[in-house]
């Protein structure tokens, strides 16, 4: 069941550290008032010296001002420390929560989600909250408190000149509020185009070896360049209308503007006898310090807006529906797989599998073939419970898959897919993903069986070499590492989906040898998804899919005799009619 969307995603995410953030902001407020003491003290000392140059009381004033400044700086340091500790806590909590949610997400969710989107959630969006928690809240508190404290003091000195200096502030607020409202409408699109760049970067880096091999670097660069240009076009369209109002608003509270107002109106008020000349000094000193806090306020309000957008995306990531686990898990009796009138649709009006009924017997090798888009890989993923059928049942050992605990299912059913993914970890750790408690002897035995042991020994650090650092494997070699995983798991059911597609010509024989050993090592239920029909001629049974339906089934020679879909696929791959059977 999908979790409800929180009304305020950022407040929900910050709940674990809310108390510490309130304390940090409170300390920052007090600090911001205290650090004005040098400016206020300067005005007081100037008044004392003009009244009596020999007045010894200035040293007391200076001492008090210094002590207040020291206390203010100490409180500011404490506020920063508390905020950064809160940020460290929150970052750890959020990354653990995201990792936990991804761990329970259905496998099908990962096929529908780009690596860039996951990276944006775990890295960029958590990073946006880092700046918000560690810096923005305390700086916003200080940026609000400083002008309030300054204007309160100036109103005590002379309310008329203070009122004049206060006029630019509401005008600035109105302009900036309008800017924030306009920019806020674009925050959702900003997240989408940024995710597009993240995805383009990940895909480009992952594909560098392939595009270099086939000389298509121009096309690969073009995809990345297109994503960057989309972001550039969006960002310029977003930022350009804001340049003029932002420049105007900043000039309203700039030091030169406030100084000009102070000198013009202060001179007039002194000439009119409304105030003494010495009373203009605090306005010249304190008033000029207002631009900095107000500027910090504007930049941190934008960070707050971006943090809110990031919190929304993180909240969505944390609401991924977990794979449903049975309340009372059942244990399969045997390894027979049964498809019972299985239907599957990615969308209500786009059904891709239609009324599939078949049985996969223990100790047999069943191949599933068909043209591209016929539903072969979709069916393989349903048998691994990437998703549940929209109608019908898939049973393992007489038990529907949705009544088997995920851990039990993945212990029983192993797979080798065409898209091989190795972690940036040691080769031994990559093989041991199936059994983290496996000994080095077990890992090496699996590598030997997968025909990859000798290649691993030639790596700089052998089994401890890290993929992506000092272990750069070809597609076929990486495929044999994934086959070693399957050997180590030793599953009762094995699903092979185009398992030789990543192999180059030199290593294809090694991959085929490893697969043959894996299939015949012991009696198990084997299901092979194949595009190249030569690789499954000896299968015990072949199922032919066409547009999501089983249209033929039987052995190789029998299917050729039918002169149907299988025969057309066979002849299409061999380009001529009279080839050997």
What SS3 string covers 158-205? CHHHHHHHHCHHHHHHHHHHHHHHHHHCCHHHHHHHHHHHHHHHHHHH
Predicted local confidence at residue 79, as pLDDT: 93
Residues 265 and 385 placed together within one structural domain of the fold: no
Residues 164 and 63 placed together within one structural domain of the fold: yes
- Which parts of the chain register pLDDT below 70? 1-7, 43, 48-51, 54-56, 106-122, 180-224, 239, 241-242, 287-289, 291, 295, 499-522, 575-581
| Ordered DSSP codes for 37-54 | HHHHHHHHHHHHHHH-TT
Residues 22 and 142 placed together within one structural domain of the fold: yes
Q: Which of 317, 346, 381 is the last residue of a domain?
A: 317
Residues 267 and 391 placed together within one structural domain of the fold: no
CA distance 464 to 428: 6
Task: Enter the tokens of residue 406.
Answer: 């995920």
What is the tens place of the pLDDT at every residue in 506-533?
Answer: 555 566 666 666 666 667 788 888 887 8
> How many C-beta neighbours within 10 Å does residue 522 have?
9
Please give the tally of structural domains in the chain.
2
User: What CATH number is associated with residue 420?
Assistant: 3.40.50.300
Q: Domain limits at 389?
A: 337-574
Name the residue with tokens 């995710």. 195
Task: Enter the tokens of residue 20.
Answer: 């510490």
The strand order across the sheet containing 391-396 reads 350-360, 337-347, 391-396, 399-400
3-state secondary structure of 7: coil
Q: Which of 317, 347, 373 is the last residue of a domain?
A: 317
- Does residue 281 lie within any of the structural domains? yes
Residues 455 and 533 placed together within one structural domain of the fold: yes
CB 461 within 8 A of CB 516: no
Predicted local confidence at residue 92, as pLDDT: 87
- Does residue 246 lie within any of the structural domains? yes
CB 115 within 8 A of CB 199: yes
Task: Enter the tokens of residue 570.
Answer: 């066979």
Residues 169 and 277 placed together within one structural domain of the fold: yes
What is the tens place of the pLDDT at every residue in 41-68?
Answer: 776 777 766 667 766 677 787 888 889 8
3-state secondary structure of 358: strand
Angle subtended at Cα 183 by Cα 311 and Cα 116, rounded to the nearest 5 degrees: 45
Tallying the residues shown for the chain, one arrives at 581
- Does residue 378 lie within any of the structural domains? yes
Q: Which residues contact 32 (CB under 8 A, 6 or more apart)?
A: 72, 76, 141, 142, 143, 145, 146, 149, 293
CB 480 within 8 A of CB 507: yes
Helix%, strand%, coil% for the chain, nearest 5? 65, 10, 25
Residues 75 and 222 placed together within one structural domain of the fold: yes
Predicted local confidence at residue 358, as pLDDT: 92
SS (H, E, C) 59-105: HHHHHHHHHHHHHHHHHHHHHHHHHHHHHHHHHHHHHHHHHHHHHHC
In eight-state DSSP terms, residue 551 is E
Residues 310 and 347 placed together within one structural domain of the fold: no
User: What CATH number is associated with residue 112?
Assistant: 1.20.1560.10
Residues 260 and 374 placed together within one structural domain of the fold: no
The two beta strands, 365-370 and 413-416, are: unpaired
Cα torsion 187, 191, 194, 200: sign = negative
Residues 231 and 346 placed together within one structural domain of the fold: no
**CA-based Rg of the chain, rounded to a whole angstrom?**
35
Residues 179 and 225 placed together within one structural domain of the fold: yes
- Does residue 331 lie within any of the structural domains? no
Q: Which of 261, 287, 317 is the last residue of a domain?
A: 317
Query: What is the helix (H) or strand (E) element at residue 119, kind and residue range?
Result: helix 115-119
Task: Enter the tokens of residue 400.
Answer: 């529907």
Predicted local confidence at residue 1, as pLDDT: 44
Predicted local confidence at residue 483, as pLDDT: 83
CA distance 365 to 360: 8
Q: Which residues contact 297 (CB under 8 A, 6 or more apart)?
A: 139, 140, 143, 144
Residues 265 and 354 placed together within one structural domain of the fold: no
- Does residue 151 lie within any of the structural domains? yes
- Does residue 324 lie within any of the structural domains? no
Which pTM does this prediction carry?
Answer: 0.59
- Does residue 8 lie within any of the structural domains? no
Q: Which residues contact 286 (CB under 8 A, 6 or more apart)?
A: 36, 39, 40, 43, 150, 153, 154
Taking phi over 0 as left and psi of -120 to 50 as alpha, with beta for the rest, 547 belongs to left
- Does residue 581 lie within any of the structural domains? no
């Amino acid at each position: 069941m999908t979790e409800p969307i929180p009304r305020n995603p950022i407040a929900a995410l910050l709940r674990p550290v809310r108390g510490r953030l309130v304390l940090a902001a409170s300390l920052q407020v007090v600090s911001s008032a205290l650090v004005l003491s040098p400016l206020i003290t300067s005005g007081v000392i100037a008044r004392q010296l003009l009244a009596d140059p020999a007045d010894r009381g200035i040293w007391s004033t200076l001492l008090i001002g210094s002590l207040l400044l020291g206390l203010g700086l100490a409180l500011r340091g404490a506020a920063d420390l508390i905020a950064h500790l809160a940020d460290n806590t929150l970052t750890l909590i959020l990354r653990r929560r995201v990792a936990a949610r991804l761990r329970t997400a259905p496998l099908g969710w990962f096929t529908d989600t780009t690596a860039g989107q996951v990276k944006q959630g775990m890295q960029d969006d958590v990073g946006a909250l880092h700046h918000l928690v560690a810096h923005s809240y305390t700086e916003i508190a200080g940026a609000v408190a400083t002008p309030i404290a300054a204007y309160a003091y100036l109103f005590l000195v002379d309310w008329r000149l203070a009122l004049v200096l206060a006029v630019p502030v509401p005008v600035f607020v109105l302009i900036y509020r309008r800017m924030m409202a306009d920019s806020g409408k674009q925050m959702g699109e900003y997240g989408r185009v940024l995710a597009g760049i993240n995805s383009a970067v990940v895909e480009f880096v992952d594909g560098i070896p392939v595009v270099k091999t086939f000389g298509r670097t121009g096309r690969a660069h073009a995809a990345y360049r297109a994503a960057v240009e989309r972001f550039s076009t969006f960002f310029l369209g977003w930022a350009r209308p804001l340049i003029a109002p932002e420049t105007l608003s900043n000039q309203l509270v700039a030091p030169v503007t406030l100084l000009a107002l102070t000198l013009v109106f202060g001179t007039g008020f002194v000439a009119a006898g409304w105030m003494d000349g010495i009373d203009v000094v605090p306005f010249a000193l304190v008033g000029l310090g207002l631009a900095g806090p107000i500027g910090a306020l504007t930049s941190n309000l934008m960070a707050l807006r971006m943090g809110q957008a990031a919190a929304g995306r993180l909240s969505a990531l944390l609401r991924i529906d977990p794979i449903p686990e049975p309340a009372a898990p059942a244990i399969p009796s045997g390894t027979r797989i049964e498809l019972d009138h299985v239907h599957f649709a990615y969308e209500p009006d786009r059904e891709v599998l239609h009324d599939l009924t078949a049985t996969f017997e223990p100790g047999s090798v069943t191949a599933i073939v068909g043209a591209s888009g016929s539903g072969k890989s979709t069916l393989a993923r349903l048998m691994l419970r990437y998703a549940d059928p929209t109608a019908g049942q898939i049973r393992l050992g007489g038990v529907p898959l949705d009544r088997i605990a995920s851990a039990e299912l993945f212990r029983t059913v192993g797979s080798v897919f065409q898209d091989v993914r190795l972690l940036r970890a040691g080769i031994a750790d990559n093989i041991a993903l199936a059994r983290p408690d496996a000994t080095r002897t077990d890992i090496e035995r699996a590598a030997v069986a997968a025909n990859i042991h000798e290649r691993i020994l030639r790596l700089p650090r052998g089994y401890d070499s890290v993929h992506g650092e000092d272990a750069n494997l070809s597609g076929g070699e990486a495929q044999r590492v994934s086959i070693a995983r399957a050997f180590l798991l030793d599953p009762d059911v094995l699903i092979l989906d185009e398992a030789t597609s990543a192999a180059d010509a030199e290593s294809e024989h090694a991959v085929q040898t490893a697969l043959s050993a894996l299939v015949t090592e012991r009696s198990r239920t084997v299901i092979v998804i194949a595009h190249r029909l030569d690789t499954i001629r000896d299968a015990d049974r072949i199922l032919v899919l066409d547009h999501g339906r089983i249209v033929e089934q039987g052995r190789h020679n029998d299917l050729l005799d039918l002169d149907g879909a299988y025969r057309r696929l066979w002849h299409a791959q061999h380009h001529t009619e009279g080839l050997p059977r």
